[in-house]
Structures are given as structure tokens and as C-alpha cells.
A and B are shown apart, each in its own frame.
Chain A
Amino acid sequence: MDKGIQRLEEMIRVSAFRHKVLASNIANVDTPGYKAKDVPFRDEMKNRAIEIAKTNPQHLRENRNPREAGGTVAVERSPWGDGNNVALDVELANMTENALLYEAGIKLLSKKFLMYKNAIKGR
């Protein structure tokens, strides 16, 4: 069916995962030695786009389940005195941006369904 729906689904999935990772960073803002993590949204979406574009799941097979949550990367930022490198303001900014992206994904998905609905009803 429509690849767009799948793409939007992946967009929502990736941003939901990134939200969790950012929430963990904020939770550990005062944990000594904690290193901030992030999800490279662009790379993650690119990987998933390849998964979607495949006509056969055996093509370009990697050793990971495409449905599984993607990998995280360590954030390159100089640590504070206690070895923790979470910057609260940056994390909150990223999180707000990510939440908007998530919301956009959901809005677009809803519109897509609405288009189909209209097509079915012939209006």
C-alpha cells in the first residue's frame, strides 16, 4: 500500500524513540559520569527508508531487526566537573523540537487517512 503511510509511521516511531532517549538524559542531569545520548534522526530515517523501499526483505540485509528501536550515539560535549555532559537547556530544546516533529508526523498521518476517506466516499 501507500509507502507514505509507512514513512510517516517510521517518522513517528523514530521521534518517539528519540523522546525516550532525551528523557533519560534529563532524568540523569545530576548523575556523576553519565554521558548524554541522542538518536541521529536523519540517519535513522534514511536507514528506515531503505527498509521500506526494499521489494524483498532479504535485500541488503543487516543484522538488525528494522522494527526494533534504532541505535543511540553518544553526544560529543565536554563534561562538567563530575564527568556528566548533559546540558539541560540543549536537551529540553531538542525534546521540544522532537515533540513538534512527532506531532507533525501524526497530523500528516491523520490527513493521509482523511484523503483516503474522502476518496472512498467520493467527495
Chain B
Amino acid sequence: MDTFAIFRVSASALDAQRSRMNTIASNMANIHSTQTENGGPYRRKDVVFTTVPIDSETHSALEGVKVVQVIDSQEPFKKIYDPGHPDADKDGFVLLPNVNVMEEMVNMMMAVRAYEANVTTFNLSKSMFLKALEIGR
């Protein structure tokens, strides 16, 4: 059994949650981007997590997490009337990204809490190891 595998579990989760935060930041930053490289307005991005076995010897008791893919939201774009906008269609409507600030904020709070929980786990593991070094002192 790998003694330090537990730290890799927490680290994988911290990494995954940070990726999620990056995605949310990107969504927030592009809330009004009407043009993208692929054409059309910016599509909201979301991460998909999957479990990843950390230490095969422990019969998959140890499972880390990783971002398996980043998906583009297929929700419809917001449509506003703004004839002066350079990206307006012939009727004067502009398509805005399908980013919802409320949704992003909730996601962000969840990511932060999950990140904190994993930091707590990491610190607890660390203090347990240090305690183990005191056996017989």
C-alpha cells in the first residue's frame, strides 16, 4: 500500500476543482462575447468529472478525481434587441452568450467549498502522519 497515495487523492481533487474555477472564470469573463473563433456567441463551458483509481493495490478504495472533458452548453442563446450592435441580424436582434451569472455564482461557491473540504482533508492527513511519527516518544 502506498503510504502517500492519500495526498495524491486530495491533490487530484484540488486540481479538478481549480480547473472548474478556471472554467467558471472564463464563463464570467465572456458573458458579453458575441464573437468567437468558431463563429457565433460564446457558449458556456462546463467540466465533467470522473473518478480515477490512485492506488491499484488497495482494490480501488482510493479514488481520485480528474476532469475528463470540457463541454459546451447547448442551452439557447439569449436574444436582445440592439440594432446598433455590429453583430445584430437584419431584424436588429443580437445573440448573447448562454451564460447565467446566478448559475455561475452557485457553481463557484460549490467549487470553493469542495476545494476547502479537500484542503481540510489534506491537512488532516498530514497531521495524522506527523502523529504517527510520534509513536513511542
- Complex Cα distance, B7 from A24, in Å, reads 10
Interface residues of B: mostly helix, strand, loop or mixed?
A: helix
Interface size class of A (residues with CB under 8 A): 20 to 34
| Min distance, Cβ A115 to any Cβ of chain B, angstroms | 12
- Cβ 8 A contact of A24, one of B50, B61, B114, B128: B61
B residues less than 8 Å from A23 (CB atoms) = 6, 9-10, 62, 121, 125
Q: List 14 A-B contacts (CB under 8 A).
A: A20-B6, A23-B62, A29-B117, A30-B20, A69-B58, A72-B61, A91-B117, A99-B127, A102-B131, A103-B128, A109-B136, A110-B134, A110-B136, A110-B137
| Min distance, Cβ B118 to any Cβ of chain A, angstroms | 6
- Complex Cα distance, B91 from A45, in Å, reads 73
Interface string of A65-85 (1 = CB under 8 A from B): 000010010000000000000
Question: Is A50 on the interface with B (CB-CB < 8 A)?
Answer: no
How many residues of B are counted as interface, with CB atoms below 8 angstroms from the partner's CB atoms? 40
B residues less than 8 Å from A96 (CB atoms) = 124
Interface residues of A: mostly helix, strand, loop or mixed?
A: helix
Contact B51–A31 (Cβ < 8 Å)? yes
- Complex Cα distance, B10 from A119, in Å, reads 43
